Structure 1
Amino acid sequence: MSISQPDTGTALGPDKEELRTTVAAILDIEAADLTDNAHFMEDLAVDSLMALEVVVALEKTYGVKFTESELRSVVSLQQAYDLLAQKLPTP
């Protein structure tokens, strides 16, 4: 019996649409409203606690750890995607 792991992306990085869906669900907004460069706090009115919740969920979902400075840098979907692409191991 094998345990399947969630699809966390490819050698090129995480799947951006899956990431968009995950982050949108956490922020309780429509995925279509979460553009790549929408600033979480300025454009989407996300408070710091909700932003932290996004980062914690990404750490759990993708099995990575972010440093404190990296936590502060994740203010848009694109920045989250880029950081995850750096952190995820390539096969």
Structure 2
Amino acid sequence: MTTQEDSATTGLEMEDLRRTIAHVLDVDVEELTDDAAFVADLGIDSLLALEVVVVLEKKYGLRLEERDFPLITSLRTAHELLRGKLGPA
């Protein structure tokens, strides 16, 4: 299943997620590749990582567990986690 097909079934679009996270991290959308590691590649700190979590919770209307926070290490892992939480539309 492609990312586009995934977004059609969950309402979670990768490019929209990319724009949202890039805005929070204050990086160019082009800089936020699917696998760019937030900490190692983009140099974000724990406070900014927490801000990403808060924005994602508000945007998608869900509550992430504290145990989920370490799983959000890149755009791809954030997308996979949210897709699992949101389930089929």
What is the TM-score when the length of structure 1 is the normalising length?
Answer: 0.85
In structure 2, the partner of 1:36 is 34
Between the aligned residues of both structures, percent identity stands at: 45
Does the Cα contact within 8 Å between 1:13 and 1:84 map onto a contact in 2? no
Match of 2:62 among 50, 61, 64: 64
Alignment of 1:1-91 (within 5 A): 9-12=7-10, 14-91=12-89
Task: Give distance in 2, aligned partners of 1:61 and 1:19.
Answer: 10
Moved over 6 A (4+): none
SS in 1 for 2:8: coil
- CA radius of gyration, larger in: 1
Task: Give distance in 1, aligned partners of 2:51 and 2:8.
Answer: 24
Q: Which runs of 5+ in 1 are unaligned?
A: 1-8
Q: Which runs of 5+ in 2 are unaligned?
A: 1-6
Aligned residues: 83
